[in-house]
Amino acid sequence: MSTTGRIYAGAALTVAALVAVLAVAGRIDSPSATASKVEVISVEPADGAVLAGAPTAVRIRVDGRPDVGRSHVSAYDADRSLLNQGELTAAGRDGLAQAVRVNGSGEVSVAYHVVTVDGRDASGVARFTVGAAGDPAAAPPPEPPAHAHGIDPVGAALLAVDGLVLLAALVLLMRRPSRSDRDRA
């Protein structure tokens, strides 16, 4: 086998090994473990509750340890005005608290997306009424706030490896000898 043939055979084996490694890495980071939902234990004030006075905070408890940096809780009144006061905080080992300022009476909608430290998540909307009970169907649910999560380090590493494999393949194709060079060898 010529030197060029050995180079191409070695490159083919390298690419095959990289594909195998990426396939194994893809199985390790399968969505089965991270895509499972976390159970919401309670939302305070409870969904459908009618309160005599305005609450000062909304609390959500889940079956797991929430990640405050990746979770979001937003409270809106019937006019779709944001009622949040300050940042989302941890409430014990399994909960989150969002301070709110409710002015007057009416329906309040709480949109939440809780992500635990192990990657599980739960999202939903809870509604309660401050003052006299109103028609819960009168106000449409608010749009959840726009949010973004950080870059997944495993996904970023796999993307970088994919780029390197593509670059290596392009270099090998560019260095491929012309037909006349192969005939002389």
Per-residue pLDDT of the chain (185 residues; tens, 9 = 90+): 677 777 777 788 888 888 888 777 766 655 554 457 889 999 999 999 999 889 999 999 999 999 999 999 999 998 889 999 999 999 999 999 999 999 888 999 999 999 999 989 999 999 999 987 554 444 555 666 666 667 788 888 899 999 999 988 888 887 766 666 666 65
CA pair distance 88, 67, nearest whole angstrom? 10
Per the structure block, which two tokens stand in for 167?
Answer: 């670059």
Q: Is the pTM of this model over 0.85?
A: no
Radius of gyration over alpha carbons of the chain, in Å? 27
CA pair distance 75, 21, nearest whole angstrom? 45
Write the single-letter amino acid at 43: V
CA pair distance 164, 78, nearest whole angstrom? 52
CATH 2.60.40.1220 is held by the domain 36-130: yes
- Residue 115 has what pLDDT? 92
